[in-house]
Structure 1
Amino acid sequence: MEATLPTRQKLILEHRLDIGRFLFYTNMVIGEFDEGIHVTKRNAAKAIEIALQLYGGRTSIVYISHRLNSYSMDPVGYGEIVKMFPNFIGFAVVSRNRYRRMLAAIEKLFIKKPVGVFYDLEAAFTWAEDLLLKPRE
């Protein structure tokens, strides 16, 4: 990932897990899953645990799925994970692959929060920062 992204976000922690790399910013988490991984709530538990420790239930966060690799996931687990984070306010998908961006339309059915789909990480950061500035209901 480029280190020169224009953002007000501060990188708090970078963590390498068995399923991929996670970057935890002030109000954003970027997940980059490894090639060929099948992501489930179970194997994502460590990343979820780290996020819960860092953000608790008060800090608003946006999750950015930086899809550099090809992998599969269990979309049914989305709803369960979202419920664990009452402070989760949005989800972004970043991919240069048209097919992977199209899959995000299916994911929107499982995530009852704003979802953005982007070609590059910079656009996702801009969208997420705008979302974080909006008043919450």
Structure 2
Amino acid sequence: MKFENSIYFNQLKHSKLVFPFGKFYLFDNFIISELHEGVHFDWEKIQEVSYELIAHYGNNIKIGYISNRINSYSIDPHLWSTFNKEFGFIVASAVVIHDDFGYMNATLEKQFTENSLKRCSSLEEAIHWIQNLDEFKT
């Protein structure tokens, strides 16, 4: 289910970034991404999004990341390591999986990230998990 079609769209305060390759919904301490079908989410795109997020949240950004995989796309899982060295502002990630192939991809990505990565079966599960991370409790 797309974020815009969920009950959370009207319940949670957010802003939206739109790129030619997908949409990103920005909340106080996490983001939701929805990439377009067939996109290869490469380093150039990751940098483009990261710079926009830093501009929005500031240089001391620490956020959770929810990948709502409503479409099939590709990413080189090694880029997680590069991202952590270059930016490192994601404290934990959740992947909303809608099929077995997506589960296998998320399992592979989990091997390449230093941060916690949770595979979720719904957007609700992912949002609840991200909002209750110890890193965001004050």
Coarse TM-score class (shorter-chain normalised)? 0.7 to 0.9
Aligned-residue Cα RMSD (Å) equals: 2.2
Partner residue in 2 for 1:4: 7
**Residue 41 of structure 2 is aligned to residue 39 of structure 1:** yes
Tell me, in whole angstroms, the C-alpha distance in 2 between the residues paired with 1:25 and 1:68: 19
Determine the structure 1 residue equivalent to 2:25.
Answer: 23
Alignment deviations for residues 17-69 of structure 1 (CA, whole Å, 9 cap, x no partner): 01111111111111111001111111232211111112234343001111000
Q: Match of 1:110?
A: 112
- How do residues 92-103 of structure 1 correspond to structure 2 at under 5 angstroms? 92-103=94-105
Contact 1:64–1:93 (8 Å) recurs in 2: yes
Number of aligned residue pairs: 134
Task: Provide closer, same or farther for how the CA distance between residues 80 and 112 of structure 1 changes in structure 2, counting only shifts above 3 A.
Answer: same
**CA distance 1:44–1:86, change in 2 (3 Å):** closer
Q: Distance between the aligned counterparts of 2:57 and 2:86, measured in 1?
A: 12
Q: Tell me by how many angstroms 1:81 deviates.
A: 1.5
Structure with the higher helix share, 1 or 2: 2
- Indicate if the aligned counterparts of 1:9 and 1:26 stay in contact, CA closer than 8 A: no
Query: Is residue 83 of structure 1 aligned with residue 85 of structure 2?
Result: yes
Q: Does the CA contact (< 8 Å) of 1:89 and 1:114 recur in 2?
A: yes
Q: Kindly indicate which of the two structures has a greater share of residues assigned to strand.
A: 1
Measured in 2, the distance between the counterparts of 1:68 and 1:87 equals 24
Whether the aligned pair in 2 keeps the contact of 1:15 and 1:21 (CA below 8 Å) is: yes
Give me the whole-angstrom Cα distance separating, in 1, the residues matched to 2:87 and 2:16: 20
TM-score if structure 1 supplies the norm length?
0.85
Letter in 2 for 1:15: L
